[in-house]
Amino acid sequence: MNAGKFDNGSFSLVEATYFGKPTLSTRYPAAEFICQRFGARTKFFPVDDHEALALLIRETLVENHSRPSLHELAQIRARLADPELGMRRYAERM
């Protein structure tokens, strides 16, 4: 979970994705960008909306979140290892 009001650790969402865990985050541009860039399937909630956060936590715990299979996890990790996602390639584009 990333509950920041501005970018303060949205890479934890990428780390959770690597391990096949569901992710939740406040909705702000940097978190959305990171999730889109790295393919993190994140559920977002508005900043300072504690009720929305509680509902998402409940949904996430109640939903049947089966862990990805070893094959699916290998695919996720291979996608995250793509050189296109590396800092060097990102810096070259900027």
Nearest to 25 by CA among 46, 39, 55: 46
In the chain, domain spans: 11-93
The per-residue pLDDT for 84 is: 86
Gap between the Cα atoms of 12 and 90, Å rounded: 19
Average the pLDDT over 13-21 and give the result.
92
Helix (H) or strand (E) holding 80: helix 70-80
Tokens of 21: 């865990």
The per-residue pLDDT for 45 is: 96
Helix (H) or strand (E) holding 44: strand 42-45
Nearest to 3 by CA among 41, 35, 44, 60: 44
Q: What would the pLDDT profile of 20-77 be if each residue is shown by its tens digit?
A: 998 999 999 989 999 999 999 899 999 999 999 999 999 988 876 667 889 999 999 9
